[in-house]
Structure 1
């Protein structure tokens, strides 16, 4: 099913292509995860005669907004104000997640409280190398996987749809009974804009044992984002690393500058703080870094990203309509299926 677009007049239409155009055009904040705006299940808020949009999901008494306001600079404040009215008409509050630092002023001017939630990480492929003792363990892990018969190729998703679905089910089965797949702030495969993603698969004897899906990144650090990744429970070590190394070699040959690793909550919480931020909420997010693994595997995610020695750390923020609150954060994780 295509994503539903909801505009200020209350009409609905399929608008994935229009949303993609708006995000490409107005992603000047450099949100590396902007492609997640097109995940199935998202809704779009628009104003008549304006090609800008706000991406959101209704969750309980909140509208959970993804990213900033994807619109021309001169219309962002007006669009956000209309979205606030839209939420009020439903007796709901707004909490926005993965807001970039460059997006914060429009929220601050509208009276939102903006607190850092974590950061995203990227590698400059112009200078990237796996040479040297720092990467010896990573190189050895990749070499061992390849010696075990692993073959890495870039492949059309249509050719691997069934195998990917089966692998996803097997992977999720290792997470425990009743665990649901994360969504909203993580990528997906399939959907109306699958053609814009790139899929690299790892096989042994022509059977799928792992894959990484890469999503396009627009803006100042344009490139690709290491998005959704899965491996078979019995795949053995080094599979994901081998796939990513192969993708890096392809991207570098194409002249791609940046490989992004996406957002990790609760990490790198030393970025500049905005006026009016909540000190108590900042402390709480730090607490989740220390003790929140059951909520979100931030430490595991960051450990994988740091293997690649990221050269760029981009702080990302939450924007609360009224005040920084635990219920607002909980509803973000409800949107993700994390709680």
Structure 2
């Protein structure tokens, strides 16, 4: 049993993510991000995706595996970490994953939630969406045009948007990865990219990743815009994408995971850490410098999501601030 790089196993990882959907993880396609490592066990049908940071292994999601191989991969990966005396922390577990980890003695806590809109029932009509409609209309009145484009033909423009967006975040801002999507690479053909332009100049984009399982559809993933400019740019781009998805009879639009949101004592599992639970609520209220959870949630709530899916973190042992920090290190946050 040994780790291998994700670039060597794109087809097996993609097959596992598309086929083994029992955990219903809407962010599962992020397992295909470049820079991830993959753990497999001979004879087991599935993969474990992770990154190493220092003396920690940060696992993304639970094993993407068949029902028969799930426990084999989970136990094998746990043993793999312990044999190397590495601390294992698993992030973005779904509830079905969380139960399996808790049964094995992991300390499991709610970390946040993801959100989804049922598109067949979706409409922007009504008073609740009046402000959103006004922002979208203003963007289009200011000359915004939205089209679905191939990423490789707009690579330079996308890089310019990324640079301007990152520059607006301050001198110490870093491009996040691991738990957010990316553009380019061998699996780009599976994503969809909607680009906004004004007078032919690119001003913003949203990348959508595929979601598999019972709530199949697309996930509103990586999004960037030129600082300043017309209000409502991102809302208008997403609205245009929704029109396309609805015309294609897509059932679900997911808005991805946001840490520290959707916290509820009813979501916690027996044996969870009370101190870590307190920390998550504190970071929701006061943690803007760590992650802008309130701003992210405000954008998602504009679309009146139908479903909240709690997501979890699992520690092999007691909840650990060091392990929690290594999640952010794996994301290139510092």
Report the TM range for the smaller structure's normalisation.
over 0.9
Aligned length: 332
Larger mean Cα displacement after TM superposition, 305-314 or 42-51: 42-51
2:314 corresponds to which residue? 319
Q: CA deviation at 1:220?
A: 1.4
Distance change >3 Å, CA 56–CA 9, structure 1 → 2: closer
Q: CA deviation at 1:19?
A: 0.3
CA distance in 2 between partners of 1:304 and 1:232 (Å) = 17
User: 279, 291, 296: which one pairs with 1:296?
Assistant: 291
| Aligned partners of 1:28 and 1:220 also within 8 Å | no
| Aligned partners of 1:196 and 1:215 also within 8 Å | yes
Structure 2: gaps of 5 or more residues: none
Structure 2 residue 64 is matched with structure 1 residue 70? yes
Instruction: Map 1:1-339 to 2 at 5 A.
Output: 8-9=1-2, 14-270=8-264, 271-339=266-334
CA distance in 2 between partners of 1:250 and 1:50 (Å) = 39
CA distance in 2 between partners of 1:72 and 1:110 (Å) = 19
CA distance in 2 between partners of 1:51 and 1:168 (Å) = 38
| Cα deviation digits, residues 121-143 of structure 1 (max 9, x gap) | 00011111111111111111111
Q: CA deviation at 1:10?
A: 5.4
| Aligned partners of 1:113 and 1:277 also within 8 Å | yes
| Cα deviation digits, residues 24-63 of structure 1 (max 9, x gap) | 1112211111011111111000012323110000011110
| Aligned partners of 2:119 and 2:251 also within 8 Å | yes
In the superposition, the TM-score normalised over structure 2's length comes to: 0.97
Distance change >3 Å, CA 191–CA 286, structure 1 → 2: same
CA distance in 2 between partners of 1:11 and 1:210 (Å) = 35
CA distance in 2 between partners of 1:244 and 1:320 (Å) = 36
| Cα deviation digits, residues 265-295 of structure 1 (max 9, x gap) | 0011114221211111111111110111111
Moved over 6 A (4+): none
CA distance in 1 between partners of 2:97 and 2:3 (Å) = 26
| Cα deviation digits, residues 223-245 of structure 1 (max 9, x gap) | 00000000011332110000000
| Cα deviation digits, residues 285-316 of structure 1 (max 9, x gap) | 11110111111110110000000010100000
CA distance in 2 between partners of 1:261 and 1:18 (Å) = 26
Q: CA deviation at 1:109?
A: 2.5
Q: CA deviation at 1:11?
A: 6.0
CA distance in 2 between partners of 1:219 and 1:203 (Å) = 33
